[in-house]
Amino acid sequence: AMMAALLEALLERAEKHLDIVVPGYTHLQQAQPISMGHYWMAHFEAFSRDCERLLFALDSLRECPLGAGALAGSTLPLDRNLTASLLGFDSPTKNSLDTVAQRDYMADYHSFAVMFAVHCSRLAEDLIVYASSEFGWLLLPDAFCTGSSMMPQKKNPDVLELIRGKTGQIIACYTELLITLKGLPLTYNRDLQEDKRGLMTSLKEVERILTVLPPLISASEVDEGRAASSMKDGLLLATDVAERLVIKGIPFRQAHEKTGRLVKECLARKKSLFDLSREEWRELLPEVGEDFIPLLTLRSSVERRRTIGGTAFERVAEQIKEGGAFLADFKEGAAGRTYRKAP
């Protein structure tokens, strides 16, 4: 239910912010304009894979260990199929030695948890950066921020910073388990007593993150004016210009070089791509064609990226629809794994 709530929050934001254009980044430098809905759906995709890993981890609990004994089984007339059925398992485990020794089900859970933690940390870092004074186009809800004890103007993203910090503990728990397991002979060793501590710590931190992250996302907004202002030099559209040249029959290597010279000239003249007159376009890059100049806008750039998975508004709408279907399937799949309940 908590993972589903996170996916629901991302879908809701993606739908609400579908038509908002913001900068997309590589190397933390402005790269191309994107739909903010596309941004939220990127995180949806990452967390949806985490959901699949979680279901896989739950599937690793389908076999019942009861009756394996200390390591060799039992001389008692136990019906392991019956006990497995009564306890809600699919079947008994197949080898008593492996049953006692293996902690794969814990590793499967931790595998889910560490990737979930990595994805949470990346999202937290993004939101912290986008809400900073230097970027400033993401508006975090006051309820998840704090002021400074000295500086009255500060709005510190404490909850996101704590999420980013806590994810390290989750990753450490997985590492600790693997280091413990790597040196053990079959079957049971007292070292395995330590596996519970990391498991409980990880579960606790994952639950804490899932308690605060969905409402934080749901209350986050975009300052559209600030986002647009940050892209006012138009240089994010350089790739659009290069691709236009490719459409005109120019090889991409040459198109890239020509567009690079155009950008350099804009910087030298202290002009944005939007400021160039038709005469300057004819002077600097006549191959583009004057019919393309009116299309050179941030919104048009987003609208034209219609490849599957792209940032075009219509494509993002498709992603949202597909995401809703995935969420419904995930809820059904998670509900179907309540096999622990005895009949």
Residue-wise pLDDT tens digits, 107-137: 999 999 999 999 999 999 999 999 999 999 9
Mark whether 326 and 199 lie in a shared domain: yes
Residue 241 and residue 193 share a domain? no
For residue 132, what pLDDT is reported?
A: 97
The verdict on 203 and 68 lying in the same domain is yes
The verdict on residue 295 lying in a domain is yes
Domain containing 32: what range? 2-225+312-335
> Has residue 337 got a pLDDT over 90?
no
CATH number at residue 199: 1.20.200.10
Q: What is the reported pTM?
A: 0.93
Sign, CA torsion 140/145/151/153: positive
- Same domain for 173 and 147, yes or no, is yes
Q: Which long-range contacts (CB under 8 A, 24 or more apart) does 69-72 make?
A: 69/96, 70/100, 70/188, 71/96, 71/97, 71/100, 71/186, 71/187, 71/188, 72/96, 72/97
148 in catalytic set: yes
Do 204 and 132 belong together in one domain?
yes
Cα 268 to Cα 27, 30, 240, 279, 328, distances in angstroms: 23, 19, 21, 17, 53
Q: What's the pLDDT tens digit per position in 153-196?
A: 899 999 999 999 999 999 999 999 999 999 999 999 999 999 99
Q: Given 74, 148, 229, 277, which residue is catalytic?
A: 148
Let me know if 48 is a catalytic residue: no
Catalytic, out of 27, 74, 229, 277: 27
Residue 343 has pLDDT above 50, yes or no: no
Is 343 within a domain? no
Same domain? For 245 and 218 the reply is no
With a cut of 70, say whether residue 101 has pLDDT above it.
yes
* Predicted local confidence at residue 336, as pLDDT: 64
Split into its structural domains, the chain has a count of: 2
